[in-house]
Amino acid sequence: MKIASAQLRNFRNHTETELEFKTAANALLGENGQGKTNVLEALSYLCLTKSFYAANDGTVVQQGKDFFDVRGTLLLDHGTEQTIRVSYDAAVNRRRYFVGEKEIVTFSSVIGKYPIVILSPENSSITFGTPADRRKFIDLTISQSSKVYIDDALEYRRTLRQRNKILSEAARKKMLTAADKASLEPWTEALVTRGAKIILKRAQFLREFAPYVSDAYAAIVEDGEAPATAYEPQIACSPDDSAAAVEERYRRMLEEKRADEIKTGASLVGPHRDEIAFSLNGLRLRTYSSQGQHKTFLVGLKIAEFFYLKERCSETPVFLLDDVFSELDDPRSTRLVGFIENLAQTFITATSESVFRNALQWNDERQKIFIRNGAPVSEREMITA
Domain chopping of the chain, boundaries = 1-115+313-385, 126-308
Q: Answer whether 1-115+313-385 and 126-308 agree in fold.
A: no
- Which pLDDT value is given to residue 35? 95
108 exposure class (CB count in 10 Å sphere: 0-12, 13-18, 19+): middle
Cα separation of 77 and 121, whole Å?
29
What is the architecture, at CATH level 2, of domain 1-115+313-385? 3-Layer(aba) Sandwich (3.40)
pTM: predicted TM-score of the whole model, two decimal places = 0.91
One-letter amino acid for residue 89 of the chain: D
pLDDT-derived band at 339, boundaries 50, 70, 90: confident
- Which pLDDT value is given to residue 224? 75
pLDDT in tens, 273-314: 999 999 999 999 988 888 888 988 999 999 999 999 999 998
Sequence-separated contacts (24+) of 181-188 with Cβ below 8 Å: 187/159, 187/162, 187/163, 188/163, 188/251, 188/254
3-state secondary structure of 125: helix
Least confident range of 13-27, 135-149, 342-356: 342-356
- Which pLDDT value is given to residue 341? 78
List Cβ neighbours of 315 (8 Å cut-off, separation of 6 or more): 1, 76, 77, 113, 114, 115
% residues pLDDT > 70 (the chain): 97
CATH superfamily, domain at 126-308 = RecF/RecN/SMC, N-terminal domain (1.20.1050.90)
Q: What is the dihedral of CA 295, 313, 6, 360, to 10 degrees?
A: 50
* Closest by Cα among 308, 137, 274, 107 to 195: 274
- Which pLDDT value is given to residue 384? 64
